[in-house]
Every structure is written in C-alpha cells, then in structure tokens.
Structure 1
C-alpha cells in the first residue's frame, strides 16, 4: 500500500523532465489509454482484445505509452517499472510490452500478480508467447470486473555486478527514506515522544545553570565597571555635585535616625515616670482609709 510518506505529487509534464524524479527507484506508469475495459454498469458489450487493430487513435495512444515507459526506464536510479492500463486492446497492452523490450534490452518483463489466474494473450501469431504468462489481464466476461492490464519490468543486473551490494544499497536507501519520513512527520505533526524530547531539551541542565549564574555575575561586574567609567568620565563639577548630594543624603539619614532615637527615649522616660508615681498614690489612699 502507498501512503503520503512514499508518494509525492508532481503536477508537471513527465516526458523530457526526468530531473524532477531523478531519485525514483520504483515507477508506476499508468498513462492515458482508450478505457476500453470500463464497461461495468453500461449496456455496451465488452470489446475484445483485437478490436482496436484498425483504430488510428489506439495506435497513437500506444506510441505515447511506449514513450512514457521508456522515459521511466531512463531514470538514473530506476530499478522497477510497473505498467498498467484500463484497456483490453492488445496494442495498448502486450503490444506495448513487446515494443518496450525490443527498444530497451537492459530491462526484462518479470511475473506480476502471480496468484492472478487470468494472464496475457499469446497473440495471433504467437508474437507474445515469451512473456504473455508473466503479465496479467482482467475482463468482465472472465473476472466480473472492469478490464485492465498490468506488467512489471525490472532492470537486468549488469555482468560482474554483485547482487549483494545492490541489496545493501537498497537497505541503506530504505534507512535513509525512513529517516526522511520521520523528519517530515515530526515537522508536520509532532508526536508525544517528540514533545517529551523537546521538553527535555528545553529543561536546562546543572551545567547550564552554573553557566547562567556565572554569566549573571559577569554581567553585574560589567555594570559596576560601566558606572565607574561614567563617573570617572564626568567633569570635576559633576563629581563635586555628586559627592555633595551623597553627603546631604547621609546627613539626612543620620538626622532621621537621631529623631527616631529621641522619640524612643522620650517614650521610655515617660513610661518610667508614670510607673514610679502610681505606687505613691496607692500608699496615700491606704493611709486615708486607716484614718477613717
């Protein structure tokens, strides 16, 4: 199955623009076709395999299909090309496969959908016998579905080329693609794991705290240094004025402290005087009571 991680929509002309998909290793070619297999739900009878032989439009479509498949095979990293149509005509199906194999001998037609019982036709003169058992067909008459055709091409291994190395490269390519998918998924919709990871990255470590404290101390030192520099850079008159203001503030602070101390002393003295006078009054009251 294909998903958004594997499929990229490129809304451009494919022919002559191989650079836009130069990294592709597997290509699915589903070109425009006659649509002769789309008969389900219609009252028209299903066309037969050889009905389009004399139709010039079908020939033009077949020429374009061959050109597109060959273009896909010319991609620098292409290893597999799948070809499919919704047509039942031989010219667009087995005929295209034969023309492609003749034009590009570096590729071979390999079996596709092996469990599918309905295979290709051998042709009127047996011209498709070599590969008709490798391709597959469908028809409403035999399979109760719309007609379609499918073929799979694979690039041949060059002489002396190590197949194991190819497998290793394919595994490395898979790992690279997996990393790319994870990177794209994280940028679009972060998962819980990425949230936790980002939180852990945001939380400062002990070393970071130490560094921040050192930076704060350094900033304080720099501020003090700047203040001193500004004071030294000022004129003598400004220095004297600044010193005079400082003296005045000190005097005011001392005066304020003295006033507070005087108030505290006065309150303490007044409280002691009242406490001393009260017992004398009590003694006089007692004497008066005795006399009475």
Structure 2
C-alpha cells in the first residue's frame, strides 16, 4: 500500500485542487490519503473534496509535528508527502512509486515546477532556481550521489525515519540527510511533477528563502558537513555561470545579475540568525503570497 500524506495549514482554498490532482490519477498500487492540518476549515474542505481521506488534526506547532503524526498513522510501505498548496502532474504518483522498486532507495524527490509567470523578476527567479535544482538533481542522481529531496513532493520508505526532531526549518533536508546516513540511496523522479506557486513580493521571497537556507545551516547540527547539495560555496562556484546562461534576453540578464546580491544578502541573514540563535518561531514565518 501507498500512503499519500498531505500536510496543510489554512489552505482550505487550495486543498481541493491538490486532492483532485492526486485522486484523479490511475494509481498502480492500493493507496490511502491522509490529510493533516491544525485548522478545521482546511480539514472540512479536504473531507468534502475526497470522502475517503483520513483526516487528522495536528497541534499546529510546526510541519515536523504534522509529519510525525503522518508517519505514525500511515499504513503504507511507501509514504508520499506533499503540501496542500501544491498540485501534482499526471501520473506523478506512479512515477514516484517506480523509484522504490529499487530496494536501495530510501527516499525520492519529484520535480518542482513553478506556475508563476516568467515575465517579472520574482517569477523569473522562481523558474531559474527550480531549473537549476532540477539539473543538479539529474546530474547527481545519475552518479548515485546524495541529493536533497524536495518536500513539495517527497517519497519515503516507511520505517527509516520514525520521528523528526522538533523545530526543524527544513524537514525535507533532514529526511534526505537522515536516509543517506542510514546507507540508503536518494533518488530523483523527474517525470513526477509537482506544481508550486512561489512568492510574488520581495519580502515574502526573502521570508521563504531565509527559512529554507536557515534549514540547511540547521542540518549541520545533525549530520556530516561534507555531504551537501546546497551551500554558499556551491552557489558561488556553480551559480553565476548557470544564472547568466539561463537568461534569454537583456531584461532577463539584468534579473539574473540582481539575483546575486539578493542571494548574498540572504546568506548573510541566515548566518546572522544562527549567530544570535534566533528561535524557530522567529525564523518560521507564513508566506501568504504562495497560497
């Protein structure tokens, strides 16, 4: 059996599309859908959308707690995790299942696709960054190297990760590193697409990326520092050439150039957050424009 775990928070307006994108697929294995959220509006909307969904109310203290509840309740041998403000591409679930036919695979990532228009700076950045991550995952997975699996669509073999520690900023990074540390492979399923809306204001963009980058700093508290896909060093070495080559016209070239100082500012913020030991609640802020 496959357990599809959808975590959400105040996403009553988007959970319907998410669930329809899952349940409309011809899934090759028996499956169950678990929806976990702290608010009754989202849970009611989910139940109306898919009557067979197993509904669970979490304590609202963070995604780590919602996932822990899902890990505990899931009946499947493979768990597929996604967010209530995303939706899946055709056959994405089956493509994710295929990755686990290899018993060495402990977790797998789907391919993130931005739905933002590319004709403005933030939308352009979203496409640039997800394509960069896609290409890096393709390259690393072909060499059987470690990859960070995306939490937007992440498959996990049940029983490897039994519980996430509290106050994680980047649950997907923790899961990926934990699975790798236990001797399992991390895999990439590029045909398993998940469609994501990215921030439409600069302040929200910084909130989201600050939280994500902070999560990668946090990983250093748990795992070896030499096993990484993302780091400031990697961005400095690989980032500029890709960002500049991605631009297809003068405006896009300007947007690519503007990304460099913003990314540097972002990393400075995350180093500062770590230096002053900002709390989980201070760093984790809801990003409204992604809903």
**Common fold: TM-score over 0.5:** no
Higher helix share: 1
- Structure with higher RCO (Cα < 8 A, 6+ apart): 2
TM-score, length-scaled by structure 1: 0.23
TM-score, length-scaled by structure 2: 0.24
**Which protein has the larger Cα radius of gyration, Structure 1 or Structure 2?**
1
